[in-house]
């Protein structure tokens, strides 16, 4: 089970919570392993909730549209109960002998409890979980306007409060299973970077490299999340659409790319020189790497985000880019691309053992392009561990027919 249920239980005990209700796609996935279809295809209005109790947070109750209840059979955890809402029809052939999967599906999706609306279903789930008179923290990030007031009215004997921060705090420290998933997502991304750079030569286009990267991600069973690949000076506008413009000798290939695998994100950045790199690129790349190297070497449990920010910024400036400016130089990563801790000049949140930090030092300059290195590492008491294996030095792409660079 990937989620940090022991940490969640301790936080609920500390705050006097009897139940927590997850409402966002990411938090639903975190507690169950289910990537809910309705939340995927209706991100602004879809509803699916997961209720966990303090005594058994690892046995959640799922409140779901009836059409999605089949997904509960693939959960990473034992589901304590399901409550469906809305209409969806699965007929039963009275003459058929149902197999085990069909019987399980009938149990949860046909014969199981259901209600007319998501609110009614959540109230029923709270009653079945024994917390309808307790203190319930509802993740406010994934509910419609006024929903918490509606829950309070529907559960008059309960005490309802916001709960997004409870789950974000819990997710800051990763379990070994989560670190394995993050490592795998990063490895898939590294393989896709290798595949894309393997076809990089003068004449190929940004579109060609994006297509090769995405194809490799999908072939590995992951989903491309963002594929930002730009050539030369165009990297200064890295979020623009890929161009049908050929790569030229002497340019750079800038990549800021990521995927989602089994619900967990990757976010990596690299720069390659096509042929011998110019002196400025060498110097600036070395300075950016010095910043991420310092983050990897000096991050420790108990350090605040702003303390680590200052360390990284000082390293980059001292290494040769004294005018370097950034709004952040990294972030936590997990079921969301930006998990806690944020590495910003104002972040008081602290690193803990098991926090995974994506350290990054992007530099963008009009007339030059962009330089960036980004990798995840897990914070440990006796040292930090990088979760990637792809080389982090400035690499060159040889020009076919020319001298090796």
Chosen domain end from 171, 200, 227 = 171
For 366, phi then psi, to 5°, come to -60, 135
Are 337 and 311 a contacting pair, CB within 8 Å?
no
How does pLDDT run across 93-152, given as a tens digit for each residue? 999 999 999 999 999 999 999 999 999 999 999 999 999 999 999 999 999 999 999 999
> What would the mean pLDDT of 228-235 be, rounded to a whole number?
98
Query: What values do phi and psi take at 388, rounded to 5?
Result: -120, 165
Inform me whether the pLDDT recorded for 403 exceeds 70: no
- The predicted structure's pLDDT at residue 401: 64
Mark whether 197 and 112 lie in a shared domain.
no
* Mean pLDDT of the region 161-183: 98
Could you tell me the residue range of the domain that residue 94 belongs to?
A: 5-171
Residues 71 and 205 occupy one common structural domain: no
Mean predicted confidence (pLDDT) in 313-320: 98
**Helix or strand holding residue 207 (H, E):** helix 206-219
Looking at the predicted structure, is the pLDDT value of residue 358 above 60? yes
Asked if the model's pLDDT at residue 404 lies above 60, the reply is no
Residues 378, 309 share a domain = yes
236/365 same-domain check? yes
Whether residue 200 is contained in a domain is answered as yes
Average pLDDT over residues 45-61: 97
- For residues 161 and 229, state if they share a domain: no
Tokens linked to 284: 């600036």
Reading the block at residue 19, the tokens are 């139940």
Q: For residue 399, what pLDDT band results from cuts at 50, 70 and 90?
A: confident
Based on the fold, state whether residues 191 and 144 are members of the same structural domain: no
Do residues 86 and 187 share a domain?
no
Residue 67 maps to which CATH number? 3.40.350.10
Domain boundary among 136, 171, 206: 171
Position 1 pLDDT exceeds 90: no
CB within 8 Å of 46: residues ≥ 6 apart: 36, 38, 39, 40, 65
Cα(351)–Cα(173) distance, integer angstroms: 9
Provide the CA 262 distance to its chain's centre, in angstroms: 10
Q: Are residues 189 and 300 located together in one domain of the fold?
A: yes
Residue 404 lies in a domain: no
CATH, residue 206: 3.90.230.10
Would you say residue 242 lies in a domain? yes
Q: Please give the C-alpha separations between residue 52 and each of 13, 58, 129, 214, in angstroms, as whole numbers.
A: 13, 7, 8, 36
CA 377-382-383 angle, to 5 degrees, is 30
Last residue of a domain, one of 137, 171, 205: 171
Mean of pLDDT values over 83-102: 96
Confidence of residue 398 (pLDDT cuts 50, 70, 90): confident
What rounded mean pLDDT belongs to the chain?
A: 96
- The pLDDT, as a whole number, for residue 400 is 74
The answer to whether position 381 is within a domain reads: yes
Span 175-220, pLDDT tens digits: 999 999 999 999 999 999 999 999 999 999 999 999 999 999 999 9
Q: What is the mean pLDDT of residues 38-63?
A: 97
pTM value is 0.95
* 3 state SS of 100: helix
Count up the domains in the chain and report the number.
Answer: 2
Which of 303, 327, 335, 329 lies closest to 316, judged by CA? 329
pLDDT digit string (tens) for 245-283?
Answer: 999 999 999 999 999 999 999 999 999 999 999 999 999
Cis ω before 341 (30° cut-off from 0): yes
In a domain, 402, yes or no: no
Q: How confident is the model at residue 405 (pLDDT cuts 50, 70, 90)?
A: very low
Section 276-296 average pLDDT: 98
Do residues 166 and 183 share a domain? no
Q: Roughly what angle, to the nearest 10 degrees, separates helices 305-318 and 279-298?
A: 150
Q: Are 171 and 340 in contact (CB under 8 A)?
A: yes
Instruction: Locate 159 and state its tokens.
Output: 């005490």
For a pLDDT cut of 70, what percent of the chain falls above it? 99
* 128/209 same-domain check: no
Whether 242 and 154 share a structural domain:
no
CA dihedral 357, 174, 31, 330 (to 10 degrees): -10
Tell me, yes or no, whether 124 and 221 share the same domain.
no
Find all residues with CB under 8 Å of 145, minimum gap 6, and list them. none
Residue 258 lies in a domain: yes
CA distance 271 to 371: 6
Q: Residue 349 domain-assigned?
A: yes
In angstroms, the CA 58 to CA 374 distance is 33
CA atoms of 163 and 17, how far apart (whole Å)? 10
Q: Confirm whether 126 is domain-assigned.
A: yes
């Amino acid at each position: 089970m990937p989620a940090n249920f022991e940490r969640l239980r301790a936080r609920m005990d500390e705050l006097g919570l009897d139940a927590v209700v997850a409402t966002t796609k990411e938090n639903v996935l975190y507690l169950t392993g289910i990537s809910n279809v309705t939340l995927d295809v209706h991100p602004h209005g879809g509803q699916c909730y997961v209720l966990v109790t303090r005594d058994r947070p690892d046995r959640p109750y799922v409140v779901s549209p009836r059409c999605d209840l089949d997904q509960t059979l693939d959960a990473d955890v034992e589901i304590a109960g399901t409550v469906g809402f809305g209409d969806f029809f699965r007929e039963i052939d009275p003459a058929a002998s149902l197999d085990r999967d069909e019987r399980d599906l009938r149990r949860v999706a046909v014969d199981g409890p259901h209600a007319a609306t998501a609110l009614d279903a959540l109230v029923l789930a709270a009653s079945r979980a024994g917390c309808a008179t307790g203190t319930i923290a509802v993740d406010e990030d994934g509910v419609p306007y006024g929903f918490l007031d509606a829950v309070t009215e529907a559960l008059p004997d309960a005490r309802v409060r916001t709960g997004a921060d409870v789950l974000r705090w819990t997710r800051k420290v990763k379990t070994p299973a989560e670190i394995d998933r993050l490592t795998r997502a990063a490895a898939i991304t590294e393989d896709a970077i290798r595949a894309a750079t393997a076809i990089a030569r003068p004449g190929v286009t940004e579109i060609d490299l994006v297509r090769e990267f995405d194809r490799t991600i999908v072939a590995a069973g992951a989903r491309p999340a963002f594929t930002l690949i730009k050539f030369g000076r165009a990297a200064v506008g890295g979020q623009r659409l890929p161009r049908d413009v050929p790569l030229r000798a002497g340019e750079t290939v800038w990549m800021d790319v990521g995927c989602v695998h089994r619900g967990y994100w990757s976010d990596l950045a690299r720069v390659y020189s096509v042929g011998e790199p110019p002196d400025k690129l060498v110097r600036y790349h070395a300075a950016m790497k010095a910043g991420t190297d310092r983050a990897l070497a000096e991050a420790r449990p108990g350090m605040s985000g702003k303390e680590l920010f200052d360390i990284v910024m000082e390293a980059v400036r001292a290494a040769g880019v004294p005018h370097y400016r950034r709004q952040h130089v990294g972030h936590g990563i997990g079921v969301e691309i930006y998990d806690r801790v944020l590495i910003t000049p104002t972040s008081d949140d602290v690193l803990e053992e098991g926090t995974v930090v994506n350290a990054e030092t992007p530099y963008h300059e009009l007339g030059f392009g962009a330089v960036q290195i980004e990798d995840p590492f897990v914070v440990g008491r006796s040292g930090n561990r990088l979760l990637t294996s792809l080389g982090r030095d400035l690499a060159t792409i040889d020009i076919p027919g020319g001298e090796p660079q």
